């Protein structure tokens, strides 16, 4: 049965989508069958794996709001073994439209139950908020990956995220665990980066992945080509580290 992992942090720009796309693609590259689920209305994970939004007729919005079978929305990405449930801007309305609906927090969980056996990993790229979409992701998941940018105020907002995780554990998903905290966009030339690493390790201890993602220009270029890094530039440092992360995630179980 597939392991469902939500990549989440309510801060924008910390590397959630970059991690979802490239962790997903690297897991696929090492032979795992992977489904990426885009639940951010911006749809950056969707375009990031080479799916044109114009070609998307049904997306995760239709699954969550109109009970469309998730299998009808799955598209093949540019990477072998990597499929995606796309998101389009229509999803922006879901946060509000879901509020008065029945079992609004478990809609994604119910939808993914249908495909859980078909994949080894299901990776959910979350929006930058702790609203209903993220709650749906946490409720559906076995584990969370929390990207933390190696910048000033790295830990800011994390206590709010952790208390949301605890609330979901208590009321909606007892089995949810933190797979790991991922340090992203490290600039190794600065002392600041090293300080942030120490601070985050002090706080999260053995929950911090050994793999640290450095700043890498190729990683920031790849999305505009609609290609995960493993396709865009397999020899880059970015590809190396996300491959390393994929192996670490597999080892974690
Ligand atoms: P989020 O999904 O959390 O908002 P993104 O993954 O979209 O964050 O990353 C924000 C921006 O930073 C994007 O432009 C992305 O290309 C860039 N970026 C992410 N990770 C790296 C990295 N390791 N090196 C260089 N640029 C990165
Ligand atoms: Mg994103």
Ligand 1 pocket check: which of 9, 10, 18 to mutate, most ligand atoms within 8 Å of Cβ?
Answer: 18
Query: Which pLDDT does position 100 carry in this prediction?
Result: 87
pLDDT at 214 over 90: yes
Identify which has the larger pLDDT, 106 or 151. Answer: 106
Has residue 58 got a pLDDT over 90? yes
CA of 127 to the centre of ligand 2 (A): 6
Distances (CA, A) of 182 to 30, 87, 117: 20, 24, 27
Using the atom order of ligand 1, give the atom closest to the CA of residue 125: 2
Q: Which CATH architecture has domain 3-247?
A: 3-Layer(aba) Sandwich (3.40)
Give the residue-averaged pLDDT of 17-27: 98
* Chain segment 84-126, per-residue pLDDT in tens: 999 999 999 998 999 888 899 999 999 999 999 999 999 999 9
Name the residue at shortest CA distance from atom 20 of ligand 1.
Answer: 15
What pLDDT, on the 0 to 100 scale, is given for residue 102?
84
In this predicted structure, the answer to whether residue 155 has a pLDDT above a threshold of 90 is no
Distance 40 CA to ligand 2 centre (A): 7
SS in 3 state form for the chain? CCEEEEECCCCCCCCHHHHHHHHHHHHHHCCCCEEEEECCCCCHHHHHCCCCHHHCCCCHHHHHHHCCCHHHCCEECCCCCEEEECCCHHHHHHHHHCCCCCCCCCHHHHHHHCCHHHCCEEEEECCCCCCHHHHHHHHHCCEEEEEEECCCCCCCCHHHHHHHHHHHHHHCCCCCEEEEEEEECECCCCHHHHHHHHHHHHHHHHHECCCCCECCHHHHHHHHHCCCHHHHCCCCHHHHHHHHHHHHHHHHC
Note the pLDDT of residue 249. Answer: 97
Say how many C-beta atoms besides its own lie within 10 A of residue 145's C-beta: 25
User: Does 61 have pLDDT greater than 90?
Assistant: yes
73-81 mean pLDDT: 96
> What number is the average pLDDT over the span 139-164?
94
- Stretch 192-207: mean pLDDT: 92
Q: What is the pTM of this model?
A: 0.98
- Sorted by where each begins, the domain ranges of the chain are 3-247
């Amino acid at each position: 049965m597939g392991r469902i992992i939500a990549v989440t942090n309510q801060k924008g720009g910390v590397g959630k989508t970059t991690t979802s796309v490239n962790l997903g693609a690297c897991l696929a590259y090492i032979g795992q069958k992977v489904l990426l689920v885009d639940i951010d209305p911006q749809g950056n994970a969707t375009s990031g794996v080479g799916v044109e939004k114009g070609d998307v007729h049904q997306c995760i919005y239709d699954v969550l709001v109109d009970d469309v079978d998730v299998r009808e929305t799955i598209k093949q990405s540019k990477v072998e073994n990597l499929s995606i449930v796309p998101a389009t801007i229509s999803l922006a309305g879901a946060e509000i439209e879901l509020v008065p609906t029945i079992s609004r927090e478990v809609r994604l969980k119910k939808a993914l139950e249908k495909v859980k056996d078909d994949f080894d990993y299901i990776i959910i790229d979350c929006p930058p908020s702790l609203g209903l979409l993220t709650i749906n992701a946490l409720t559906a998941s076995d584990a969370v990956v929390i990207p933390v940018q190696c910048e000033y105020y790295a830990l800011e907002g994390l206590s709010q995220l952790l208390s949301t995780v605890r609330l979901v554990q208590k009321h909606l998903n007892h089995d949810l665990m933190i797979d790991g905290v991922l340090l992203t966009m490290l600039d190794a030339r600065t002392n600041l980066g090293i300080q942030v690493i120490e601070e985050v390790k002090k706080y999260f201890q053995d929950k911090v992945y050994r793999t640290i993602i450095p700043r890498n220009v190729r990683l920031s270029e790849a999305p505009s080509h609609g290609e995960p890094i493993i396709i865009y530039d397999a020899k880059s440092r970015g590809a190396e580290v996300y491959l390393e992360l994929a192996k670490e995630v597999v080892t974690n179980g």
